[in-house]
Structure 1
Amino acid sequence: MMKFIKYAFSLCLFTLIAISCVEDDNLDYAEEITAPTNVTAAVSVTQDNTGTVTITPLAEGAVSYTVSFGDGSEEVSDITPGNGAEHIYEEGTYEATITAVSLNGLTTTVTQSVLVSFKAPENLVVIIDNDAAISKQVNLSATADFATMYEVYFGESTDETPVVLNLEETISYQYEEAGTYTIKVIAKSAAIETTEYSEEFVVTAILQPLTGAPVPFRAQTDVVSIYSDVYTDPDPIDYYPNWGQTTTYTQIAVDGNNMIQYGDITYQGIDFNGAALDASAMEFIHVDVWTADADFDAKMSPISAGPNETAITLELNQDQWTSFDIPLSSFTDQNPLVDFSNIIQFKFEGAPSGAGTIFIDNLYFYKESATGISGVLPLTFESGFTLDQFDGGGTSVIANPDSNGNTSSTVLELVKGAGQTWAGSKVTIPTPFDFSSSTTITAKVWSPRAGLNLLMKFEDVTPWPNTQATAEITATTTLANQWETVAFDFAGVDMAVEYYNMVLIMDNGTVGDGSVNYTIYVDDISSSPMLTFEPEYTLDQFDGGGTSVIANPDSNGNTSANVLELVKGAGQPWAGSKITVPTQFDFTAGTTITAKVWSPRAGLNLLMKFEDVTPWPNTIATAEIIATTTLVNQWETLTFDFSSVDMAVEYYNMVLIMDNGITGDGTANYTIYVDDIAQN
């Protein structure tokens, strides 16, 4: 079945049905209806040299339209959805206007170019690209002299209806399968003659992750690792033992993050070569898994000496990382014979067995720290939590787009795409949400429309369908394009459950479309603890240095949303920046510090050192380690060797100075970006 991603009629249809079913004296809900969105029009011209044009308006939330043709003629109003207005133009270029009207009379007006030419289109240029982020989707645009519109055949079926492409538009189309297709574009004007273009285009599937898995935040002392760049893995270990399986094995790196690829997985083992792991002090197993396969799950089994094993099904989300935190009790409750003090192997299987490819990262046992979040590295300049989405939801931390009413620098962006009606987002924190001080949760919400329903619930870490969850509490926005505080009353919450996940779903029961109408911002989710979506550290500068967290200006080589900006102004030659963390830097997990750095020039020297909290001049500090950039206007990873660090000192401050000994001037030549400060 073809999937054309452009226009949506469902909301219009729903609105018409609602009008016919609601009693005349029960229209209070109409006050919350917003102006129509995604207003556009399909323009078709008859090819008979008459200049007859039909303009068919399209929008979400519209019950009627008015079309002004832009040539001084009388406009046509009260056009119902699905119908158009016909008009005869003289040869020329016109700016028609389309006004969409909602149920309560709110309007949205857009302009649509109309070109009427009795010459056949010339100089037809068609641009087709595979979408960089959506598997098996192509994006197409076209230009031609004298063209009024284009008809596009994507070649997936022999009897397909062409898609109309208007002037200055780009359309997207998602194929069911990757492969080579004949894509044909017909450029039309008001003339009888047309101009055609066709191309044999290779549609590609995204078969591996485009970004690395979420970076773990736990301290090495709370972890028994099996596979992760962040932690120390067992030695010896065999990630591809000869168990007679047909599964293929490859290690790849994406954005500097290593991961395991198990292809065409039937079953696949990980063997510790006789050196058993003792994970009896741990509480959970964590793993991140990515697959490009639809409707494909996997199974994971820890195996103890015996051998004894039990499996848990990992329900995967296509084309995105899925993170699992599974209590060890989920295994021992099913099979008490698994002995976590004597783990000798791991096993992954296809579920059902066979024909799927998975990517695995960050496989480790862990326990919760008695003091909450353990350790402070890596510093990603995102925040101390992980974000996820499901079934069409989108979740990210971005720079605050509206500081009027909320001065936070970064906020949570939620987007509901064209997936399931329950598409949403999930925020996972390292320690359970605490309802002991209050069961009322408040959140600042910025919505594009009043009447948007935001559902919130909390879940434990048990995989679905055995997840324990709170009631689903819904709050409704009352303002449009403004920040407001909404409240969620969890008075009946079961405090015996440890909730690690917060789930957010906008307009549950309605399919989104990924537009601005289904994009909201959330901040300052408050009870205990508070989620502010700001960094859990403080920034400072001294003697002419400048320090701030900004939106990443260059995602080529670093896909983080936020990075640290350092500026050296016209102060002292030692002007620099300081990062202070709430718990001391822990060098027992590694004394090699790495950082991604973007520099305007090669040969820039970046000094790093750590200091305790004692005020200068009595401050205790590590050695000043310098790393030098080698690239210009690109991200690269620099390494700082603190192997001789005095581990008896409690370091809370990280100091960064560029070109120590030289006075800066605050220009781009003395501005760098830093991200993903990690230890190895």
Structure 2
Amino acid sequence: MKILKYISTFCLLAFIAFSCNEDDNLDFVDDISAPTNVSAEVSVTQDNTGLVTIIPLGDGVTKYDLNYGDGSDAESDLTPGSVLEHTYEEGTYELNIVAYALNGLTTEVTQPLEVSFQAPQNLMVTIENDPAISKQVNVTATADFALSYEVDFGTGADPVAGNIDEGVSFNYENAGTYTITVTAFSAAIETTEYAEEFLVTEILQPITGAPAQPARAETDVISVYSNTYTNIANTDFFPNWGQSTTYTEIEVEGNAMIQYGDLTYQGIQIGETVDASTMEFLHIDVWTATEDYALDVYPISISSGEQLVQLNPVAGEWNSYDIPLSDFTDQGLSMADIHQFKFVGIPDGAGTVFIDNLYFYKEPGGVVTAMVEDFENEAPAFTTFGNIPDAEVVVNPDMSGINTSNNVGALTKAVGSEVWAGTFFEIAEPLDFVTYSNLKAKIWTPNPGIPVKLKLENADTSIVYEVDVNTTTSNEWESLTFNFNDAPAADYVRIVFFFDFGNGGDDSVYYFDDIELASNGGDSTPLGFQDFEGEAPAFTTFGNIPDAQVISNPDMSGVNTTANVVELTKTGAAEVWAGTFFEVDTPLNLSSYSSISVKTWSPNSGIVVKLKLENADTSIVHEVDVVNTVSNQWEELVFNMSAAPPADYVRVVMFFDFGNAGDDSTYYFDEFALTN
């Protein structure tokens, strides 16, 4: 055996020393998850020698241990990118791979490996168009005695290799018929081959509905076309303006949407004249299969004519736009008498667009709620755990303040109970976290400042999510809000309460009531605190990356057309925790606002963007992760800070693709605002 190369090394001691100097806090290390997607890429020389090349793979990995499974010495402390060669006798083995995260969490996998000097036999190949990604073909190959295979997708590009029984994929530039050739390899000189003429297809319409829309008060929205809100009656979506565009209304996953085919220009005659002067945004969802396509959107006023905003949707996915109405009014358009819309496709007549959720709206001035359980009717069945008495529904012992209802839930955390003692009950219908993002509950406790943990579980407890909120008063009712905006999608039907979580029982009695779903509310006007248009703040950059700097906006489109933004490059030599911070003059007001919004631009979707707040001496910190959803365009991310401990936060820290080493990607961020 020999190790051919090491891509990088990692020194935790150096990292800790740096962190103490720069941050004095390593809490974020505890939040790192165990490695995922752990496996090994294997290939064998076709010369009857049994020489196998092994490359450990995984996400969020700092080192690997590997056991070859043949009784030879195991390898340890392998850095990501290590390539190993090992000679096997003919036979069947099990590779054992242990992957380590930065904080010591591990993931262990066992991967079968067969070394045979016989040519592969019984080669079975599955070739399929991907059901969700246009012009992507997925191939899986199985064969006796085979260790790996490669696929020539018939375009002249290099073949794509994969382990036997595992899938490989390829994205074609154009639909059409291609000859796909699969070659299976064992340790023998002879290979086995399969070829097929395959039709690659293009997805020309959405296969999922447009994104679900949040709950809004009727006074906060004027809907022209949506499945969520009340639409203006008698609207004509295909008036005869002499256009050659075609019109169809289709339905996907129960959601209706408008299809404008071969769009040149197309109008909408609204059923009544709309006064949108009190609204703040125009929302529209757009889907097109056409690359390099633009859509001009014109609201039309009776008194002031029409003005446009141009959209540049990414092909093959839903694009959601929230266009500030100031983008139109700054051009002289009146929003007080809108009676039509016009859409113009660019290039003319060259694309088909699908439109949904066309409406005006303003940020809510209050909270929209839906009751889940108020204990006034048949009591739910409680399951109590952790060596405490059964929870029960009792007569409200304190009918005052915000809670004068008759019945409430009661839980006693007895002396001798476990620190994790609590109770749960189940509901008939899953919680609606499409429309709502929070759960609210009225709580009564004998002591202030205790942690109340609210945990949600699906039916088989395979998916759970929990939120902690501290009480602020004692011996009176208060309403606590638990934000579940980041909870993974699931049918949550079990609600679990823990009081004074982490501490043993002392016979205290706790009461809870009026559990309800709630939308975000509070101050409806975001408060911007840094837009990088004036004097640039001083940035401190760390983790072996170039200094962050304010530059001209490289993509003045979509939700961000401002002049200046911040550029941060995470180079190939960057640490997984590389980032930058700046400070503000006045502590952030998290009493009036619960969240921070930031506009970000990333070359990749699905990355972790971490926003961290610190007080002046870094003794109090709070961080929130949000996964971005788009690439190569601006999007607004909202970081919920409702669980942040009270502090004068003056330092704002940004991390992109947190937990992964740099790859020379450049990221941009802009427009920090306090919001609700």
C-alpha distance after superposition, 1:513-533 (max 9, x if no partner): 76999x968999344999xxx
Tell me whether 1:186 sits opposite 2:183 in the alignment: yes
Q: What is the aligned counterpart of 2:197 among 190, 200, 204?
A: 200
Q: What is the aligned counterpart of 1:359 among 354, 358, 375?
A: 354
Distance 2:324 2:603 in 1: 33
8 Å Cα contact 2:286-2:320 kept in structure 1: yes
Partner of 1:116: 115
Distance 1:362 1:201 in 2: 38
Distance 2:106 2:220 in 1: 57
Structure 2 stretches lacking a partner, 5+ long: 1-5, 21-25, 373-429, 439-455, 470-481, 490-517, 531-542, 549-556, 569-580, 611-623, 628-637, 646-676
Task: Return the TM-score normalized by structure 2.
Answer: 0.54
Partner of 1:55: 54
Tell me whether 1:381 sits opposite 2:466 in the alignment: no
Pair 1:171–1:527, CA change in 2 (3 A): same
Distance 2:223 2:126 in 1: 47
Distance 2:329 2:226 in 1: 25
Q: What is the aligned counterpart of 1:288 among 273, 285, 289?
A: 285
Distance 2:233 2:78 in 1: 72
Query: CA shift at 1:348, angstroms?
Result: 1.1
Query: CA shift at 1:189, angstroms?
Result: 1.6
Q: Which amino acid aligns with 1:87?
A: H
SS at match of 2:318: strand
Distance 1:295 1:353 in 2: 12
Distance 1:304 1:504 in 2: 32
Pair 1:256–1:401, CA change in 2 (3 A): closer
Distance 2:286 2:40 in 1: 42
Task: Return the TM-score normalized by structure 1.
Answer: 0.53
Pair 1:101–1:279, CA change in 2 (3 A): closer
The aligned runs of 1:260-659 (5 Å cut-off) are 260-272=258-270, 276-280=273-277, 282-305=279-302, 308-335=305-332, 338-351=333-346, 355-366=350-361, 372-373=366-367, 381-382=432-433, 384=435, 401=463, 406=468, 412-413=486-487, 429=520, 432=523, 464-466=559-561, 492=586, 502-503=596-597, 525-527=640-642
Distance 1:470 1:313 in 2: 21
Partner of 1:255: 253
Distance 1:188 1:357 in 2: 45
Give RMSD over aligned pairs.
Answer: 5.4
C-alpha distance after superposition, 1:344-380 (max 9, x if no partner): 32111235655333221222334566x5246869997
Q: Which amino acid aligns with 1:372?
A: G
8 Å Cα contact 1:249-1:263 kept in structure 2: yes
Distance 1:175 1:501 in 2: 41
State the identity %.
Answer: 46
Tell me whether 1:94 sits opposite 2:93 in the alignment: yes
SS at match of 1:344: strand
Query: CA shift at 1:402, angstroms?
Result: 5.2
Distance 1:526 1:80 in 2: 36
Query: CA shift at 1:328, angstroms?
Result: 3.4
Structure 1 stretches lacking a partner, 5+ long: 1-11, 388-396, 416-426, 440-450, 456-461, 474-486, 531-680
Distance 2:594 2:267 in 1: 30
Query: CA shift at 1:142, angstroms?
Result: 1.7
Query: CA shift at 1:252, angstroms?
Result: 0.6
Query: CA shift at 1:312, angstroms?
Result: 1.5
Q: Which amino acid aligns with 2:486?
A: L
8 Å Cα contact 1:414-1:521 kept in structure 2: no
Pair 1:353–1:82, CA change in 2 (3 A): same
Q: Which amino acid aligns with 1:525?
A: N
Pair 1:192–1:377, CA change in 2 (3 A): same
Query: CA shift at 1:79, angstroms?
Result: 6.5
SS at match of 1:412: coil
SS at match of 2:486: strand
8 Å Cα contact 1:224-1:364 kept in structure 2: yes
8 Å Cα contact 2:147-2:185 kept in structure 1: yes
Tell me whether 1:211 sits opposite 2:241 in the alignment: no
Distance 2:566 2:296 in 1: 29
Distance 1:140 1:305 in 2: 57
Q: Which amino acid aligns with 1:191?
A: A
8 Å Cα contact 1:435-1:527 kept in structure 2: no
Q: Which amino acid aligns with 1:68?
A: N
SS at match of 2:328: helix
Distance 1:215 1:72 in 2: 58
Pair 1:26–1:493, CA change in 2 (3 A): closer
SS at match of 2:359: strand
8 Å Cα contact 2:89-2:115 kept in structure 1: yes
Query: CA shift at 1:266, angstroms?
Result: 2.9
Q: Which amino acid aligns with 1:264?
A: D
Pair 1:145–1:505, CA change in 2 (3 A): farther
